[in-house]
């Protein structure tokens, strides 16, 4: 996994003080990273336009344009005239090479590079910048953002194919609202290896290698060695079936559905019971539950996954223990925040500050939070883990039931709640990426098949 930071200005100052690297040297290294990346992506003679602002993000663009001049057809469009000292210096150096300074944008270019506002951007933008971003976003050329896409907090940001973030990964790039605009995020060094540049953090980006599958090593084993998962069935019993079948496909030795009466005779893989099995090792409860009443005391001291309908039940606090994993989507999380005393925070507000609310909730909740979304956040006692690997194919009924089944399967096999949440979320995401048909066609059953192939 990689480190993520809310802000990186302290890291820049640390590099300047400890490693005696001036701001200008860091800028030259940032520009070099941009230039080297462009050389990989650009064809010979490509038309490259740098869109530059008045501050140091614009200065990065001026410096990178200088480095690429001569190798490509480079031009610069000054969205705002240079104002910061380094922007003025870099602009003067650029002009000494007689690089073309555009007064208006041409009809097309092969590559557009956004160096307008950078990570310090805040507040509204003027109409001329809005019009510029709208125009560039409709062009067919490759789009690269320097550090962070311009106007990322607003409705019409620069839509990048790649974001080259400087020095360290920034949390803004992994908010759900940024998902459609950052493209592929690449961290560029500033002349110092990341292990030396980065400091301590409480946010981490999950990667494929962080997935630990429930592979069976011992040949001398039986079904009892791999746990007994109990899935509580409710008014919409299909949800519990999907969770149960997922758990069986993810290594659980036994899966039982807790039912009021026998519901399914056609699936022999899932046992059905009206009583609580004595050897239950983990429980999933909430999905499709409806009005069915469940006593939290039944599951006392058992690892459990809580989902869906229980997120709206005030008794959910009675399930709150260190062995619990709760898996809300934003609307369900809004309910949980109110139940746990944070007040009325609607889903839209949550989506604008997902990291903040996930962290705040994790200090009050004793278990592990899995806040579902385009970039799912896992939180435990103030430490956050982000998965950006999922596909929009998962935006379909039943996907959450599959995720609950994955996490429950690992809990039943004696994985810790945090480990179960991390590997369950990663398996869910990676399985969706493996689907080779149209992304609108993925069904829960198809997702289970992909999970089997991980």
For residue 326, give both structure tokens: 């709760």
| Residue 269 pLDDT > 60 | yes
For residue 301, give both structure tokens: 């001291």
d(CA 72, CA 50): 12
Residue 405 near residue 250, CB atoms below 8 Å: yes
Mean pLDDT across the stretch 302-308?
96
Q: Which CATH superfamily is domain 2-199 in?
A: YjeF N-terminal domain (3.40.50.10260)
Q: Across all residues in the chain, what is the average pLDDT?
A: 93
| Residue 266 pLDDT > 60 | no
> For the segment 424-447, what is each residue's pLDDT rounded down to a tens digit?
999 999 999 999 989 999 999 999
Mean pLDDT across the stretch 250-264?
86
pLDDT of the residue at 260: 81
Chain position carrying tokens 């909730």: 361
pTM exceeding 0.85:
yes
Confidence band (pLDDT; 50, 70, 90) for 265?
A: low
d(CA 27, CA 14): 15
Report the side by side order of strands in the sheet with 184-188: 100-102, 73-78, 47-52, 111-115, 142-146, 162-166, 184-188
Mean pLDDT across the stretch 393-402?
96
| Residue 285 pLDDT > 60 | yes
For residue 108, give both structure tokens: 């097309």
| Residue 12 pLDDT > 60 | yes
d(CA 163, CA 331): 30
Mean pLDDT across the stretch 365-376?
98
pLDDT of the residue at 427: 98
Residue 90 near residue 62, CB atoms below 8 Å: yes
pLDDT of the residue at 378: 98
Q: Would you call 195 exposed, middle or buried from its count of C-beta atoms within 10 A (0-12, 13-18, 19+)?
A: exposed
Confidence band (pLDDT; 50, 70, 90) for 86?
A: very high
Of 75-84, 166-175, 266-275, minimum mean pLDDT range: 266-275
Q: Which residue has the higher pLDDT, 238 or 407?
A: 407
Confidence band (pLDDT; 50, 70, 90) for 154?
A: confident
Bridge-based pairing state of the strands 203-205 and 2-5: antiparallel
d(CA 275, CA 288): 19
pLDDT of the residue at 294: 82
Domain boundaries, the chain: 2-199, 209-452
Residue 21 near residue 47, CB atoms below 8 Å: no
pLDDT of the residue at 332: 98
Q: Which helix (H) or strand (E) is 407 found in, with range?
A: helix 399-412
Mean pLDDT across the stretch 120-128?
82
d(CA 177, CA 182): 10
Mean pLDDT across the stretch 319-333?
96
| Residue 146 pLDDT > 60 | yes
Chain position carrying tokens 């999922």: 390
Q: Which CATH superfamily is domain 209-452 in?
A: Ribokinase (3.40.1190.20)
Residue 115 near residue 53, CB atoms below 8 Å: yes
420 φ, ψ (degrees, to nearest 5): -65, -40
Mean pLDDT across the stretch 152-166?
92
């Amino acid at each position: 996994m990689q480190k993520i930071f809310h802000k990186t200005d302290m890291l820049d100052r640390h590099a300047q003080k400890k490693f005696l690297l001036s701001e200008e040297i860091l800028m030259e290294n940032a520009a070099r990273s941009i230039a080297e990346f462009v050389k990989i992506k650009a064809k010979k003679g490509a038309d490259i336009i740098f869109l530059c602002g008045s501050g140091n993000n614009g200065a990065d663009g001026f410096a990178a344009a200088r480095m690429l001049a001569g190798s490509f057809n480079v031009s610069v469009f000054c969205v705002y005239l240079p104002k910061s000292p380094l922007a003025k210096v870099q602009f003067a150096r650029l002009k000494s090479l007689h690089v073309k300074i555009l007064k208006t944008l041409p009809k097309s270019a092969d590559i557009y590079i956004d160096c307008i506002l950078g990570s310090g951007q805040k507040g509204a933008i003027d109409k001329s910048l809005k019009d510029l971003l709208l125009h560039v976003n409709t062009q067919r050329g490759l789009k690269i953002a320097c550090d962070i896409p311009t106007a990322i907090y607003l409705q019409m940001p620069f839509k990048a194919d790649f974001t080259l973030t400087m020095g360290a990964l920034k949390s803004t790039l992994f908010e759900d609202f940024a998902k459609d605009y950052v493209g592929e995020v690449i961290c560029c060094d500033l002349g110092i290896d990341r292990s030396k540049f980065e400091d301590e953090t409480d946010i981490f980006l999950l990667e494929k290698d962080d997935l630990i599958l429930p592979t069976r090593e011992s040949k001398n084993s039986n079904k009892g060695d791999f746990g007994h998962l109990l899935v509580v069935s409710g008014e919409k019993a299909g949800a519990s079936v999907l969770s149960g079948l997922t758990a069986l496909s993810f290594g659980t030795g036994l899966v039982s559905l807790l039912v009021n009466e026998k519901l399914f005779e056609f699936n022999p893989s899932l046992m059905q019971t009206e009583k609580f099995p004595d050897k239950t090792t983990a429980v999933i409860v909430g999905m499709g539950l409806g009005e069915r009443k469940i006593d939290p005391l039944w599951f006392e001291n058992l690892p459990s996954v809580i989902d869906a309908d229980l997120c709206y039940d005030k008794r959910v606090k009675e399930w709150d223990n260190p062995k619990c994993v709760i898996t809300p989507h934003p609307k369900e999380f809004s309910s949980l925040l109110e139940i746990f005393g944070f007040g009325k925070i609607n889903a839209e507000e949550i989506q604008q500050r997902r990291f903040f609310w996930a962290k705040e909730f994790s200090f009050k909740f004793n278990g592990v939070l899995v806040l579902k979304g385009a970039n799912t956040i896992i939180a435990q006692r103030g430490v956050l883990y982000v998965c950006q690997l999922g596909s929009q194919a998962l935006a379909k009924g039943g996907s959450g039931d599959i995720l609950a089944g994955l996490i429950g399967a690992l809990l039943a096999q004696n994985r810790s709640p945090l480990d179960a949440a991390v590997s369950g979320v990663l398996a869910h995401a990676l399985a969706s990426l493996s689907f080779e048909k149209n992304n609108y066609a993925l069904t829960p059953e198809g997702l289970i098949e992909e999970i089997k192939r991980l």
